[in-house]
Structure 1
Amino acid sequence: MTKTFAIANQKGGVGKTTTSVNLAASLATFNKRILLVDMDPQGNATMGCGINKNLLAISVLDVLTGDTVTEKALHRCESGAFDVLPANGDLTAAEVELLKLPSRESRLRHALARVKQNYDYIIVDCPPSLSLLTVNSLVACDGVIIPMQCEYYALEGLSALVGTIGKIGQFLNPGLQVQGILRTMYDPRNSLTNEVTGQLRQHFGDRVYRIAIPRNVRLAEAPSYGQPALVYDKHSKGALAYLGLAGEIIRREKAARAQTGTTG
């Protein structure tokens, strides 16, 4: 059974794209079939996979508007061994274009339904805003992984995002839930980091991933080479942390299936 996760946080600079690319690459190392969907007009996930966003003839925008079918827009991240539905600046037009179309909140869900059976996991990189693109992403997904820094302002933004997830789950995508909270740019030597971690565990319990992503220069360098950190430097602390996250996600899915008696 395919699991589709949105990587979302309306606050910028928390590691959404870094998480999307490196989680996709890490899950692929476990022999999982992965699709990464770039829903951010900045196209950073696309570039981070070694795909030149400026040379795209077809992108996720064409899929959302119905100008092409999903299969024709897919690219391969050769270094990471997963597929990519890429984006570029043309996606900024989506807000206006989608307003004219029927079922504007569920265009991505319908587009992914064509290819969903080909993948074990679909990862959707959301833009840093609560826009119609983000709504499309959340409507298309089973759960939301929220990357966040351990600081107090981040807690305020988290509350707003959880409220939005609840509303979309209520009106547009029944069953949508917070899949997990991922602590990024993590420094355990910082007392504030430990205080915020304690608050997160108090409110979200085991939905806070045990793995935290440390500050790591290799994670910052890898996108400029168009590679996941796992390819750029597989021994770096950042790459190993994302491998650990992928393992934790897979174990959680197995445990959930065992509990419900499902397979796949």
Structure 2
Amino acid sequence: MFRNSEQKVKSMKRFVIGNLKGGVGKTTTAVNLAYSMAKLGKKVLVLDADPQTNLTPFFTKVNANGHTIKTVLQHPNLVRSAIYRTRYGNIDIIKGSTDLVENDAYDTNALLKALLQIHDRYDACIMDTRPAMELITTSALYAADVLVTPVCLDKFCRDNLLLVEDKYHHLQEQGVGVEWKIFANKVENKRAQKRTYIDMVERHCWPFMETCISKGAVVENALEYYKPVMKHRSKSQVALDFMDLAMELQEV
């Protein structure tokens, strides 16, 4: 059947949530960005590229049956068979795999090859990665349009971003055309955090986004129930912040 000429063809934008430091809220960001984008009417694919598979249980049951991210890395042409519906409308998932190990041999471009086959099915793909520059993370970055880095405004923030910046420039030297965006996560109204933020933006000229995500107990409460914050407490400041972040990323 011919596509209606007035029907808008989707062109999936691919986001990697990545940082070389743990505990900054990468998985929380992936979950809440995906849900917020879906609430904005976007068709979203989430991809769990972390061998710890922390993202998967937020969207579907974790089991050993069926295809996973490992299938896609080994056989990019099977990507459609590895996509599952989730408990949320407008969100599908490629499940994570605990069988992923660093010495597995994958084509660095495997994820890119796979995602290009389904680029017209989704508006956005959100990829969660773990804090290590291993092959699967590199493959995700090769497949991405935008690297989204959450940071905590603590004393380690500057050194953390210097490491990420070094890896980012290395990717650019290899011809990887991924754009880099940073946002402050778990923000409290503290003077020290404000000083750190000003230093990051003004002295280092790092590409910080305007949106910051507030710190709140609602995040931990939502995590306990494997829910996005907006599903758990839709009127909370954190939920509103993630919606703002989703809208800002749509303009990138």
TM-score by length of 2: 0.89
Partner of 1:10: 20
SS where residue 152 of structure 1 aligns?
Answer: coil
Partner of 2:49: 39
Q: Deviation at 1:55?
A: 4.1
Match of 1:153 among 140, 156, 171: 156
Paired with 1:231 and 1:80, the residues of 2 have a C-alpha distance of: 12
Of all paired residues, the percent bearing the same amino acid is: 27
Amino acid at match of 1:196: T
SS where residue 208 of structure 1 aligns?
Answer: coil
Partner of 2:87: 78
Partner of 2:234: 234
Paired with 1:224 and 1:193, the residues of 2 have a C-alpha distance of: 27
Partner of 1:209: 209
Amino acid at match of 1:73: A
SS where residue 99 of structure 2 aligns?
Answer: helix
Q: Deviation at 1:81?
A: 3.2
Partner of 1:105: 108
**1:144 has 2:147 as partner:** yes
Deviates more, 1:194-203 or 1:9-18: 194-203
Residue segments in structure 2 that go unaligned for 5+ positions in a row: 1-10
Q: Provide the aligned C-alpha RMSD in A.
A: 1.7
Match of 1:169 among 154, 168, 172: 172
TM-score by length of 1: 0.85
Paired with 1:236 and 1:59, the residues of 2 have a C-alpha distance of: 34
Paired with 1:245 and 1:80, the residues of 2 have a C-alpha distance of: 20
Q: Deviation at 1:17?
A: 0.4
Q: Deviations over 1:12-57 (max 9, x none)?
A: 01000000110011011111111111100111111122x2223443
Match of 2:40 among 30, 45, 50: 30
Partner of 1:122: 125
Paired with 2:110 and 2:169, the residues of 1 have a C-alpha distance of: 20
Amino acid at match of 1:162: E
Amino acid at match of 2:38: A
Residue segments in structure 1 that go unaligned for 5+ positions in a row: 254-264
More helix by share: 1
Partner of 1:54: 63
Amino acid at match of 1:166: H
Q: Deviation at 1:89?
A: 1.2
Q: Deviation at 1:221?
A: 2.2
Q: Deviation at 1:159?
A: 0.8
